[in-house]
Every structure is written in structure tokens, then in C-alpha cells.
Structure 1
Amino acid sequence: MRPLRLMFEGFGSYRDETDVALHDVDFFVLTGPTGAGKSTVIDALCFALYGTVPRWGKKDAIRNALAPSVNEGRVCLVFEAAGGRYAAVRLLRRTAQGNVQTKEARLDRLDDSVPPDADLTKILENPVASVAEGDKMTGAVAELLGIGYEQFTQCVVLPQGRFAEFLQAKPSDRQDLLIQLLAYAVYEDVGQRARERAKVAKGRLDMIEKRRNELGTVTDDVVAAAGKRVTDLAALVPAVDEAVEKMAQVRTRWAEANATTKTAREQLADLAALRRPGDVVDLATRLADADEQITRRAAEKAEAEEAEAKAEAARADLPEHAELSRWRDAHTRLATLTPRLERLRAAATDAEAAEQAAGAGLATAEQALADAEAAQTAADRAHRAVALAADLAEGEPCPVCRQQVHDLPHHAVPADLDAARTAVKTAKSQVTAARKAHADAARSAATARAEVEGGQRQSDELAAELRAAPPLAEVEAALEKREAADAAVERARTRARAARRAVDDAQKERTALGAEEQRAWATLRAGRDRFVALGVPPVDGTDLAAAWQALLAWATAQRDELTARVDDLDRTERELAAEGTAARTALAALLSEHDVPLPERAKPDVVLGTALEGARRDHAALVETRSRSSALVAELEQAREEHRVAHLLGQLLKSTGFEAWLCAEALESLVTEASEILMQLSGGQYELHRDARNDLVVLDHNDAGTTRPVNTLSGGETFQASLALALALSHQVVGLSGGKRDLSSMFLDEGFGTLDESTLDTVAATLERLASETERMVGIVTHVPALAERVPVQFAVTRDGASSRLRRVEV
């Protein structure tokens, strides 16, 4: 796994988006003051892959992932692994209750053609494939890298406080890590496949032995006997073919005789079965009766239709029923309307008189009003001062002298002026009442006149309608006569329809008998046509019974002649059958001499051909069996060897001792290289060894080669030993895993300040060599300026109170 880009936002102490480009970096250092956020960068890388960080303690404790007062955060790592480019993305969200949850987690395969220094959005868009999402992502990362979270934090990311875990681990824990790193599953897979192959080989071995036992032993004598039988049967073919041809000739002659006999017997049976239908005699009588019935029904129909025509002619001279009914209704309505019209005229005269009286009353009231208003005008003129005083107001100018009015004058209203005003009011009320009475009388008179006009209009219309009509008594008499004529016509029509239906029924019955007659003649002709081959005479005449009698007489004579002919045909057929049976018996005896049975209805040449083909197959099978038996012996030996090798390999790889041996060899190789590195780091003081229980110990050359447990080392010494072991593990993991683990990155987050200047120089040189010679990315976190200055790429980390910030510094 080699990181290319690392982006995080709202993660840890980083509130703002931070993009770390690592695609062109082999050796880098993170520097900055304590608490600035250097280790958070390594945490982000680990969290993007596995969803947790060693410093948080529990694997599922992600509440520290979000920066303070930030509700959402994200981490994205673009990296190369297993020959491809991938992106691990995790999004975080703070809930309303303050809990932190993973909103999204996904692992995508990316397009390798996009440059790693391109915009991160372009790199992430349009992934080639989605590898895993949600809870399945962490497992997919472990499968892709070949190691899980525990192994990743011991050989790729060495976090603060856990640097010495692999050094001080129990032998069993250290072996578990080595099993993961060594891809021991490959050996388990090989062992499983070997055991499966052994099982398959055993099955194949059993099958070959079974087949060999089933084949049995085939000797040369058996093969020779089978060959001789093929020769003998082949020699019989010409004789059998000749006999079969002769039998075929006899069979053809017998088949012809049999067919002729069969035809003669069928003709004889048909002649014996020829019968005249029982209803032939009765059919003529029924036909005559049907014709007579048609004649009688036709006469009745003509009589009924004549009566119908007479009834319609008698009615034709009478007026139409609808016209008579209309005249009668008009007479009745006019008789009712005449007295009513008289009453309407009288009412209209009364209404007009009332209207004239109301008009006279209105004129009188209007004259009285005019007189009262004239009297009031005279009184007002006589008493103008009173009228003028009534209109004055204090402070307003007088309309006569234009002087301002200070005191209102008081004038009593004279009695005659008051009476004149009262008389005007009374006259106006009387005029209003008279006008209403006159309007009501005018409406009543108009309504009465309209009713009279409507009644008169109806009377005129009825009179016009009856102008050409006879009197009512004549209309009623004519209407009664018309109704009687209509009834007579309907009765005549009903009788005529019944007569016509009777004629139709008689004709249908005659037609049905005609069809029956045609069928009878067709039956006669069909019976006659069956004997055309025997020379039957044609059917003549129109007498069906006579025609049948002639056909039956001919059939009787023909039957006697055909009976004698059938006897001769039977004798010839029996002679040919006996000849064929003798020939088949002789051929069956010939085949039986060579053990070839001849079934009753089987063809001898086919039976011989089948037997010959079977003999050839048997001979070829025996030859093949003898050859296969020899081949199975060699195949059996090869199967035994395959089973032995696969079984032995499966049992060896199944043993737990192989796992322990493999881990011991790997640990020995790691300890040897780590010891060399430790000698360099410690100035030749310490060597690293493993004891009989696979515990790691150090050999102290400054103390006369004393062996010490690794947990007795000081902090600086422990760091040197752990670093030596980590460097050796990082260097050898590819070779030890057979190429299954390619951990091409290492990140060290540890206090290098415990090292003296000489050791620090050695450590720096070792890390430089690891990065340059192995093409492995090495990243370190340190506060030591002397070490940071030697690293070609530095990332300076600062914190301004609100957020941590990262800046790349080229040295």
C-alpha cells in the first residue's frame, strides 16, 4: 500500500480542508509544536482505511474523530495496492444528541490514467468499480492489503505508545502477526487443494480398478473365436439373400392372390348386404298427399286475399278516421267556447266602465290639488314676512337688507296660511290614491280585453277548421261507419296472413319430402355404384321402387357367380402360403446352424445383418477390451503415484508443526536482519536473538555478552530495538509472504528525542537508505530538528487556535 493523496476536513484538530500530496514523496517528516496536529495526519490515514485510530483506545470509539464544534467531517485516502489505484472515503456526522456516526464509507477502484496530482474531485469522479460500501468496507480493505487493523498498526503505522508492541509481544501473538504477514493462507490453500486432489485421485484410482475388474481377462483364443464367427456369418449372406429374393417373389404372388380374394369376398359381402330401404314404397304416397295439400292451401289463400281486397275497397271511399276525429273534436270545443266567450265580453265591458270611472275620479282629485296649491300661493304672498322669518338664521345676512341677523324675529303663523298648507297635503294624498285606483282598473280592463281577444281567436280558428266539415251528427255517423270498415279490413288481413302461412308450411313439407326423395335416389345410385367393377346396369326411369327391384335381381344373380370364383381364389392363396412357409422354414434351419434365431415375423436378411453387425461389434469390443486392459494397467500405476504424492503433501501442510516451523524460520530471518540493524544503531552494543521459547532477547556486548529480556531495556534502547525490528519486518515482508504482501509504506510516530546524536545520525541514515534503496515510502513524526533537517520533504504543522494547518516545505 502506497498513499498518493490524503484529504481530510473537520477531522481531529483540522477544521478546514487539508490536502496532502504524497505521490512524489519517498521520505517525508511531519514537524511542528506539541499539540499542533502532527499525529492527526497519520490518524487520518489509518482512519480512512480501517475506520478507527489506535490513540482512541476502542475500535468503535469515533467520537474524537470530528473537530470541536464541527457537525460533519470527511477523510479520503487515494492509494495504490495490488497493482491498482483505490480511494477509501469516510464521511462523519454529529447527531442532535451529540453522538458521532459514520454517514458514509466506501472503497472504490479508480481510473489509473488520471494523474495523481490532478484535482481531487476529478480523481474521485467516475470510479471504475465500487469495491465495498458501509460495514463491508473495512473487511474489503483488509482483504485488499492482506492485513487487518492490528497488523497494520504494527508493521505499517507505528503510533505513539505502541512502537514496541511487536518487540515485546508474546510469542503466540507475534506468531499470529507473522501468520498474517506471511500469507500463511496460501499454504493452507495449497494443503486443502492437495487433500482435495488426493481425494479425487483416490476416486480415480478406485474407478480405474473397478473398470479393470469389469473388463475381465480377454485371451487371444477368445478374440480368434469371435473373428471366426464374423467370417462364418459373412459367408451366409449370399445364400440368405437368394432365399429372401425367392421368398419375396412368392410373397408378391400370394399378396396379389390375397388381394384379389379379399376384393371378391368384399364384393360378395356387399352383394349380400344390399337391401332396399323400408320406406321407399311409402315415400310416393306421402309425396302425393303433400302436392294435394299445397293445391288446397293455395285455393284458400286466393279466397282470403280476394276478401281482403274487397274490404279494403269498401273502406277506400270513406273519409279518413283521423280527419273525422279532428272534426268531432272541433265541434265539441266550439260548443264549449261560445258561452265562455260571452261571459268574457261582459266582464271586459264592466272592467272598461270601472276604468273610466277611476279616470274621472283622478281628474277631480288633480283639480282639487291645483285649487289647494293656488290658495296656498295666495296665502304665502299675503304673509311673506312669516315665510321669510322662517328661513332666517342668527349670524347670517338678511336676504332683503343684507344686514347681519342678530335676533330672530317671531311671527305667529296665521290660521288661513296653516289651513291652506293642510289642504294641499290632503289633496296630494287623494291624488296618489286616485292614481293607484286608476292604474289597477286599467290593468284589469287590459286583462279582460286580452282574454276576450284570445277566446275570439280560438273561436275563429275552430270556425275556419269546420268550414268544410259536415254537422256534428253526420260526423259521428261517418266515424262509426269508418271504425266498422277498419275492423272488417283487419279481420280480412288476419285471415289472408294465416292462409299464406299455411301455403308456406305445405310447400316446406313438400320440399322436405323432395329432399328425402333425392336422398332415396342418391342411396340407390350409391348402392349401385359400389358394383361398377362387376358390370352393374345403370339406373333408369323415375319409378324408385322398380329401380330398386331391378338392382336386387341383378345382385342375386351376380352373387351366385362370384361365390364359385372365391373358392378358386382361396385354393390358389393356400398353395402360395404353403410354398412361402416351406422356404422360410428351410432358411430358419440354416440360420439356426450358426446360432442365429429367426423370430416369427422378422426378415431373415435383416436378422442375419444384425447378427453379423453384432458379431463384428463383439469382436471389435474384445480387441478394444484387450487393448484397454493393457492401458489401464499403466493408468493404474500413474493414479497410485498421484494419490500418494497429493495425500502426503496434504498431510504435511495440515500439520500445525509446519505453521510453527514456518513462523520460526521467518522470525529467525527477521531477528538476524534486525540484529544487524540494532548493532549499527547501538554502536555495536546490542544484538537481537530469540530463545528456545521464541521470546526475543538482547545480547549486551558491553556487559560481557549478557543476555537480557527486551523489557529490561531503557526507553531509548527499546526504541532502537523496536525500530530495528520494524525496519527488518518492512524490508522482508514481501519476500517472506511470497509476494502476497506488498507493504510499500512505513509511518513512524515516536519520540526520536530519546536518541543521542550518534544514534540519531545512524537512524536517519538507515531510514534514508530504506526509502531510497527499497522504493518504500517512509514518513516520520518528530520534534528533533537534526532529524527533520535531513528529510528531503517536510510538512510543517501549525495551529492557530481554531484549526490545525499543514504546509509543505521543500528542503
Structure 2
Amino acid sequence: MKILALRLANLASLPGPLELDFTVPPLDAAGLFAITGPTGAGKSTLLDALCLALYGNTPRLRQAPGRDAPLPDVEGETVSTADPRTLLRRGTASGHAEVDFLGRDGRRYRARWAVRRARDKASGRLQTAEQSLRDLDDDRLLTAQKREFDRLLPERLGLTFDQFTRAVLLAQSEFAAFLKADDNERSDLLERLTGTAEYSRISEAAYRRAITAKRHVEALQTKLADDLPAKPEARAELERNADAAERGLADLQQQAKRLETHQQWHVADDRLRQAYAEGLRQQRDAEAHWHTLAGARADRECRRLLAPQRHRLLRQGALPNEIATLEGAHRQTLQALERARAAQHAAEQARDKATQQMDAAIQARQQAEPTLRQAREHAQALVTLDKQLADLESQHRDYTQQAERLAEQRRQAETRQLEHKRQRDEWQATLRQLMDRHERLDAARQAVQQAHDLAARRNLALGELESRWQEARRAGQAQRQLGERLALDEKRQAELTTQGKAARERLDAQERHYRTLHDFIERSRAARSESVAQLRAALREDEPCPVCGGLDHPFRHRPPETPEAAQLAAQHAQEEQQLAEARQSWEQAQRERDDLEGEYRAVMATTARCRQELQQADSRLTQAQQALAEHPLHAELNAIDAAERDAWLTHQRRQSDAEREHGERTLSALTRAEAELAPLEEALRQGELGLAQLEARRSALDEALTKQAERLPPLRRQRDELKNRLQSLLGEHASADAWQQQLEARQESARRQRDEAIEGCHGAEREQARLTQQASHEAERIEQLIQEGATLERELSEWRQAQPLLDDATLERLLAQPEAEAAREERELAEADEARQRAAASLGERRQVLLEHRRGQALANDDSGEALLGEDVEAEIDSRREALVAERQALAPKLEQAQQTRDEAVHALRDDDRRRARQQEGQAELEAARVEQVRWGRISELIGSADGKTFRRIAQAYNLEQLLEHANLHLANLSRRYRLVRGGSELGLLVEDRDMGDERRSVHSLSGGETFLVSLALALGLASMASGELTIESLFIDEGFGSLDPQSLALAMEALDGLQALGRRVGVISHVQEMHERIPVQIQVEPLGNGTSRARLVSV
């Protein structure tokens, strides 16, 4: 990954547009460059622009309060302090940040972030920020959607936002604080630097899972104790009762099955008797319908006799009409033949006339040919003259326009010369005024610079004093707040102890109440059973009863009324409601107890953290007060009343800022005046030269215009004479080509008319021949049809004499009958005959089946057919049916009572089976829950805690080891003397001095330069951890050099030189003047006043 270019406009104090291209000189060859400028000038804004273009956010904004701290915007709108759009410069309508980078795949990309206000006006509302990603190698837009941009950018760059801020933007000052911190502070810094907050959540989750697993085991044990099965003696008694009830029910079911068989015989007999009666009715209906079709049967016989001669009779009837039609067509053909002969004579006359007209057109064209040739020659000459005149006139207009433009350019040049002279005089006066009493510009600049530096040092001292004063106040305020919070936590802890005891007592009371009520209800239910009603409700239509096996369920929907049923149902529902309410009260008491217990643990952890933080606050207060007392300006501050110190500090800072800003404005004005004078002098010289060149060009144009004016009149006279001669030749014709086209069109029209006349003559001849042949064929066909009619008349008269049944009326009716109607009558006759035969066969079959069903039942003395169908047999069957109904009704109550007894015994046995199965399943579930409890208990013992501290410390120790491994690799390249190791405490750090026999000593013993090297190694180590296998060629180190002495600064510069020797381009952000002198390539950020700065690239 490598940053190739950075561009921005209208961000914070930098109006721009600004472009920093790292691929062109001098940045392309600079392995080390500095971003310089005074404090607050806007150096970090360049890094903000880098992060905005890539991720749409900045590290500084992520630490802002967010929604709780809104900022006022235009039109009464507010915007969050954490919103990146607040970086848009005030008073501007739009701004952007753009970065070109080399991705992990070796391709070049461009990421862009832009924001604007509504209507592109500074008074408009802020609009949603826009982000886009473009592939520069293919010049292809990859996306302009934010969600897709957030997905593609880390893939192409190879780093997420958190990884980028740790691997590319190195906050070296944080690692200096990391070195000197105690274990608690180092733990907080390590968590923030490495992003390991999730280990605290894992530790808390492991602790919660262990508590949940324990509660689950306790709940299962309680559930099993409340659902015990019957003892062995009671189980044996249940099995004996079930066997006796089953045997009694089987005997009664056998009787019911025998009666059911008799009932099924009677049902089948009724069904067969009804089928026999239906067969008799169908036979009578079929015979009656057959007799109604006697007329149709007679017509069928006549059609059979008529069929051989039917087509000849039809042909005889159609011949007269056909002959009459053909005779009419023959008369029309003869008339058309006369008309065709007249048309042929007219076509021959039109052919002769068209031939004469074509000969006349050819002769007229031949006579006009010489005149046409002469007219074309004159027209061509006229075109040549017109072209020459047009070219000269166009050139004349161009020369005239050029002369006008030269005159305007001269006027503008003279105006610019006057403006440049005025500006030069003004800047010379400004420069003399700024130099004041100094005769030389260098002396004036040096005096202003000294005053500016004095004000800047005073301002820094005041800022440090204010910072220490505020730190002391914050430390005191934090100490007081922590003391108050600790008192509240201790009070809450005592309250929770009291509430916890009361909750425990309520839980025990609710548990005892639930168990007492549950045992009482179970004993009550053992004395009664509703199993019969439950089994009855489970019956289904067309499915056998599980008790008796019958398919008829008379009491399924309307069970017999029992006085106790309603009372038992109401009592059962009331018992269930009482149990549910008692169980709910028990669970509610348990939840209250658990909530209080969890809150108590949390308050205990909070109290412990509060005591620890109070000790740290005491230490910070002492350190802050000591640092304030050591400041050089403390005596001045201490002389001011405590209530007025803030106002005094603000006044002193404003006064110092005003002096510093005055010096900056004066220096900027001197530099600008000096820079503006040289271009103005050069512009004046170039202006004089440009005026002379314009004068020379104007003289040349005047001479060319004079020559062109002399050539135009002769050419115009020659063109007019030629145009008159051409007009006399053409006469009324517009041109020679138009005259020739007219002659050719006349000749072509005459030719077409002659050809059309010849073709019309040939067509008339063909039509006359066709009509002659058609008239001959029609006469022959008429004669043939007359002879055919005579033959049919003779033959059909002989056939009619041989068929006396077919009189004229019958013959006429049958010939007129449609074939569909005849076919329908045939089908109706066939269907009626088939139905008559089918009804007779079906009646015989049904009679035989009924006789077979009644034989062997001892219904009559004679088992013949007639006796079994008599009235005596019917009366015997009805008598037997009534006796069967009475016997079944007497058996039904006994069967129901036996079934209820059997169901109660089986239900009690199955209820005990279910209890035993639930016990077995519950024991297995309990064993699995105990295994889970042991597993999570062991995990919680290793890493779990209510505040997440245990696993966090383990993970941070591991991350610290990883960090030290990577840091030592970089430290070996920067300084081979030292090596970082863990020691002294769980998160303690020691430095190993190889020049002193690997002696281990405190990191506090390092000098300023050595501390810088170790801090830089730690920063680079974290960058290696964050980037993984990705090669990062661009690094930015923010601050951290202001506290170094000259020797330590020299050592730090050597370290930076070594870092760039490893192939990385390093950008250092610092306001230390000594570093500016040591780094030749610089991006200087200069404040111009009014919240505006200018960034420029210099190579010193």
C-alpha cells in the first residue's frame, strides 16, 4: 500500500485547492519529508483529509461526544460535533478530499470524499457527503454509493479504518505515554491501541453462561422432584386392575360383535330389496320407450330401400337448375366476345398515334443539342468567376475582422499596462510603509520576526500554564465526584443487602406454597378420572374404537349426561389456574432474587473500581498541583484571585495571540509585497513588447486590404457580362441542365405511351381468343347435361314401378330429411333396444343376489325363489330386526361401563408410564446440564468475571508479547543497544541493555532520544500487527519531537533516516524548528489570519 497523491479544498483552515503529488519532484525522491507550521496552523488537517478521502471519518472526530454536543449551523440547523461535514470551511459552499493510492493488487485507485451545501450556496443546508472510488489504470468508476464504497475500499487498500490509523498514522506520543504508564493505565492504552475490548465482553459472557448453567441444573432438579412415579407395590396394583378390566370388556365386546354381525345382515337385506325393486321399475320404463319408437322403425326400413338410388334421385332434381345456369353464362360470354373485338380496334389506333409523338420528341432534342452545348460552357465559366469573387470577399472580411481584433487587443494591453503601473506604485508604497524606520528589507523582517517569536514563546508558556491549571482543577473535581459516587455506591450496596434477604425469604415462602398446593391437587385428582371423556373426544369417523373396535360411535358428539361431568371440569380448570398462579409467583420471586443478586455483584465491582479510581485521582491531583507549582508563571497566576484566574489567563492569551498574529500578518505582508513587485515589473516589460508587436501586425493588415480592394471591380464586370449571354441562350429555361432534362422527359414520356399502346393491342387480341374458346366449351357442356337428364328419367321410372311402398310423399320426405336427423334416429333406436336388453339382465341378477342372501336364514319352509320373496318372509325379517334393536340397547350401558372401567385403569397405568419416561428423560437432561455446568464453570474459573477483567488481562498480556516481538524487530534496525522485555508486573515493561551485559532496567531510565526510539519502535510494531502481510510504504508520524534536547533530536533524526532506508516514505508532522532545518523537503502550512492558512511545497 502506498499513498500517491493528496488533494483537498475548503477543509478547516485550508481553503485550497491544494495538491500534494508524491510521484513528481521533489516528493518522489524524498524518503523523508516534514509537514511544518506553527501550532494551530492546520498541519493535522492534511491527515484529516487523507482519512476523509479514504474512510469518510477522522480519528479526532471519532473521539468527539457526538449527538450530545450539537453545533449550530445555518438556518437554525445543528450538526453533531462528531460529523465529518463540520470540517467544511465556514463561508464556503463545497469542499472535498481526494487520495490516489497504490492498492494491494498493484493497481492505482482514486478515493474521493466531497460535501456541499444546498443550492451551492454558503447559506444552504449541509447535504449528505458523497464518496466515490475510481480505477485509474482503466479510468473506470467502480462505485459512487457509500455502502459499496465502504465494502470496496478496504479490499483494494488492504486496511480497515482502525488498521489504517494504527499502521499508517502513527501517534508516537501515545506510545511515549504507554512506556511510562503504570499497569492500569497501560492496560487502558493497550486496549485502545490494539482494539481488544471484545475480550472483556467474552469474559463477562463466560461468567454469565456459568451462572445460567447453574440455574438450569437447579431448575431441572426441582422439576424432577415434583414429578415422581408410583412405587413398585402401587405399580403392581395398577397392572392387576388393568388386566381385570380388559378381560371384562373383551367378553362384552364379543357379544356386541355378534349383534353387530346380525345388524349388518339386515342392512344388506334392505339394500338388496331396494335394488330389486329399482330393477323392476327400470325394465318397465325400457319396454314402454321401445313401443313409442314404432314410427322411427318404419322410416328406418324405407331408408334401407331408398339408399341404392338416393344419389341418382338427387342428381335428377339438380340437373334443371344446372342447365339454366350454364345457358345464362353462355349468353354473357357471347356478349363479352363482341366487346373484345371493339377494344382490339381502338388499341391499334392508339398504337399508331403514340409512335408519331415519339418521333417528334426525338427530332426536337436533336435540334436543341448545339445551343445546349454553348450554354453549358458559359455556365461553367460563370461558376469559376463566382468562386474567385467569393474567395476574395471572404478574405477581405477576415482581414477586416483581424484588424478590429488587433485594435481591441491594443486597447486591452494599454489598459493592463496602466493597471500594472498602478499596482506597482501601490506595492512600492506598502513596502516602504512596512519597512518603517528600517532602510533595508532584511532588517525590517528580522525585527518583526523577533517580536513574533517573543509573542509565540509567551503564548506557549501561557498555554502550558493554563493546561496545568485546568488539569489541577479537573483532578480536584474528579476527586470530589469519585468520593460522592463511592458514597452512593456504598449506600446502594447496603440497600441491596437488605432487599436481597427479603427476596430470599419471599422465594422460600413461594416455593413452599407451590409444592404444598401441587401435592394437594395431585392427591385430589388421583381420586377421580376423566379418562372416559378424553378417549371419547379422541374418536374419529370411519375409524375403529380403540376399546371395542366398532365403527359406530353414538356417544362421540352427544355423550350421556352425567351430573358430575360439569362439576369435575370446573374443578379441574380451577386447580390448573391455582397451580399456574402459584408457579408464576414462585418464578417472579426467583427473578427478583436473581436481579438483586446481579445488581449487587455489579455494585460491588463498581465500588471496587471507584475506590481504585479515587486512589488514582488522588495521585493525579498531587502530580497536577506539583506541575503547576513548577511552572515559571505560577507566581503571576498565584497572585491573582482564584475566581479571576480564568479571566486573567484568557486575557493574557488573547493579548499574546494578538501580538503574535500582528507579527505574522506583518511578515506575511512583507513577503507578499516583495513577491508581488517582481511579477509586476516583468508584466510591464512584456506589455511594452506586446504593444510593439500589435502595431506591426496592424500595418501589414492595412496593406493587404488595399491590394484586395483593387482586384474586385474587374472580376465583377466580367461576371455580369457572362451572365447576360447565358440568359439569352436559355430563354425561358432556368439552366442548360433543366432544358436538357425537359427534352429527355418529353422523349421518355412518348416512348412509354407507345409501349403501353402496343401492349394494350396485344392484350385485346389474347382476350378475344380466350372468349371464343370459352363459348365453344359452354355449348358442348349444355348438350351433355340434356342427354344425362333424359337417361336418368327413363331408369328411375323403371325403379319406382318396382317399389310400391315408396309413394311420392314418403320419397319426398325422406329425400328432404337431413343426414344428421337420420343418424340421430338410428342412434336412438339402437340405444332403446340396448337399454331394454340391459334392464332385463340387471333385473335377473338382482333377483338372484337377493335370493342367495336370504337362503340359509330359516325364513320359510321352502327356499325356492317365490317363497323367499313373499310377504310372510318380509314380516319375519321385520320381527327379527326389532328384537335385535332391543338386545343392542340393553347391552350398550354395560359395554360403556366396562369400557370406562378399563379406560380408567389403563389411564392410571399410562400416566405412571409417562412419569417414568419423564423421569428417565429428565435424568438424562440433568446429566447433560451438569456436564454443561462443569464445562462453563471451568471456563469461568479461567477467564470469567463479572467486570470482564480476568480475560482482558490475559489477552492484553498476549497482545503485549506480540507487540514487543514486532517492536524489537524494528528497534534492532533503529538501535541495536536496547531490547524491550516484560517484567516487574503482569503488564510491566523493562529495557534490556545489551551494551551492559543484557542488564534489565526501568524504561524511566531512558534519555529523551532513547525514549523516542523505543516509542517509535512500538508504533512501528503496532503498524506491523495491524497490517499483517500487507507491505506499507507510506507512514505519517504525528508530533512527539517537541520535548527532545539537541542530542536526542539528532538521535531521532538518525532513526528516521534509517526508517526511510528500509524503503518507506515517512512524513513527520512537527513544529520543531531544528527538524525543519534537517529535513530539506517540507510541506509548510502558514497561517494567513482570519482562520485561513496556506500550504505550499518547498525544497530547502
TM over 0.5: no
Bigger helix fraction: 2
TM-score category (smaller protein): 0.3 to 0.5
Q: Which of 1 and 2 has greater Rg?
A: 1
RCO higher in structure (CA 8 A, sep ≥6): 2
Normalising by structure 2, report the TM-score.
Answer: 0.31
Normalising by structure 1, report the TM-score.
Answer: 0.40
